[in-house]
Amino acid sequence: MIKGERQTPTFPEERDTPAIRTLDLAKRYGKITALSGLSMSVPRGEVFGFLGPNGAGKTTAVKLLLGLARPTGGEGWVLSAPLGDLQARRRVGYLPELFRYQEWLTAREVLALHCSLARMPRRVWADEITAALRLVGLDARGDSRVSTFSKGMQQRLGLGVALLGSPDLVVLDEPTSALDPVGRVEVREIIHGLKRRGATVFLNSHLLTEVEQVVDRVAVIDRGQVLALSSIADFTADTQTVKVRLTGLATSGSLEAGAFTLRPQMEGWWIARGIAREAVPDLVASLVGMGARVYAVEPGHHTLEERFLYLLKGGEHASGTDYRPADGV
């Protein structure tokens, strides 16, 4: 079944291995290098954001992972099997960026075709198809031909196709590119549902605000190489900034507290920049010593978009970056 909280079954020996692992994976098309030495590891059960500018090699990487293209170098494993393995592909769902389905079939027939190709037992097809149509909001259009669908409806159908059979790994390439805001929220909910049932989601998207809301981990690639790979919390953390909410100090403009300078923000919040994590207790002590009542202290935070742009403009690598895949396939 697609819906619900059923846990994704995995083979015992697979549980500790990454859902995806690549080692120096490379692809050249003639003289053009599309991907050069991609090494990364995607833990099981996580939502993984795969980010990068146009031409970074994201779609090439996805095609290599799914066996649609052959690598010219390196290795890779999907669900513990070498790239292209047929058995592993039974447990993978994929929504391509360029989504096209047989326009002369109905939505129900497209889903039945994929049930057949995914080697699902015939007896579960009807339930799978009904659940998929309902999940992506096409239950009223199941018997309509794809040729009558809008772009957004075709993308919804593609999402339904990708989710058939409760796959262990769902690869979504720009899954909301043709959707309206309501559809985008629904996709976010679907991704949360996939995570709840233990599936791994490999999400390739340019909509960073949306990515930030669903992913556990991100990788940023550019020119075919990984620039950063870390948890979303580490990636967006601003280790040099602290926010403090306080009252009791009558001051206008900046606030000097010992060696630290705080600038006022909205609703009683103040921000201190250029402060190391280990100096935070000293800052709080200074403020309390000055008579302030401190209600909250929070580490600074960048948006995913800020960090992404910073990286691509040649900034430092993200904190907490793990450039190499974990040991073991």
Partner 1 sequence: MPPVLTIARLTVFEAIRRRVVLTVFILTPLVIGLTAWGFSKLTHLSHNDGTPFSPDEARLRIAAFLILIAFMFSVVMAIGASFLAAPALAIDIESGLLLAILPRPIRRAEMVLGKWLGLAIPLVGYAFVAGGIELAVIQAVTGYLPPHPAQAISYIAAQSLVLLTITLLASTRLAPMASGIIVVVLFGAGWIIGIAQTVGATYNNHALANAGTAFSLAFPSDGLWRGAVSALEPAALLAEGVQFDPLAAVSSPTTAYLIWAALWAAGVLSWAIHSFSRRDL
Interface with partner 1 includes 99 (CB under 8 A)? Answer: yes
Q: Do residues 211 and 203 lie in contact, with contact meaning Cβ atoms separated by under 8 Å?
A: yes
- Contact between 185 and partner 1 by CB under 8 A: the answer reads no
The interface with partner 1 within residues 274-303 (CB under 8 A) comprises: none
Phi, psi of 250 (to 5 degrees): -85, 105
Q: Which of 70, 196, 263, 273 binds partner 1 (CB under 8 A)?
A: 70
With binding defined as CB under 8 A, does residue 89 bind partner 1? yes
- Among 69, 135, 191, 257, the residue binding partner 1 under the rule CB under 8 A is 69
Find tokens 């103040």 and name the residue: 270
Interface residue with partner 1 among 6, 119, 192, 263 (CB under 8 A) is 119
Smallest separation, CB 44 to partner 1 (Å) = 19
Nearer to partner 1, 86 or 140 (CB): 86
Q: Which of the ranges 64-72, 127-135, 265-273, 317-325 carries the binding residues for partner 1, by CB under 8 A?
A: 64-72
Binding string, residues 143-182; x marks residues near partner 1 by CB under 8 A: ---------------x--x---------x-----------
Beta-bridge partner residues of 21: 41, 77
Q: How far is the CB of 143 from partner 1 (least distance, A)?
A: 14
User: What's the closest the beta carbon of residue 180 comes to partner 1, in angstroms?
Assistant: 22
- Residue 99: CA count within 13 A, CB half-sphere: 29
Q: How many chain residues bind partner 1 (CB under 8 A)?
A: 30
Q: With respect to partner 1, which residue has the nearer C-beta, 151 or 277?
A: 151
**Part of the chain binding partner 1 (CB under 8 A), chosen from 102-110, 249-257, 261-269, 311-319:** 102-110
Q: Which amino acid is at 234?
A: D
Any contact of residue 202 with partner 1 (CB under 8 A)? no
Stretch that binds partner 1, among 39-47, 97-105, 230-238, 308-316 (CB under 8 A): 97-105
List interacting residues with partner 1 (CB under 8 A): 29, 63, 66-70, 86-87, 89-90, 92, 94, 96, 98-102, 104-105, 113-114, 116-119, 158, 161, 171
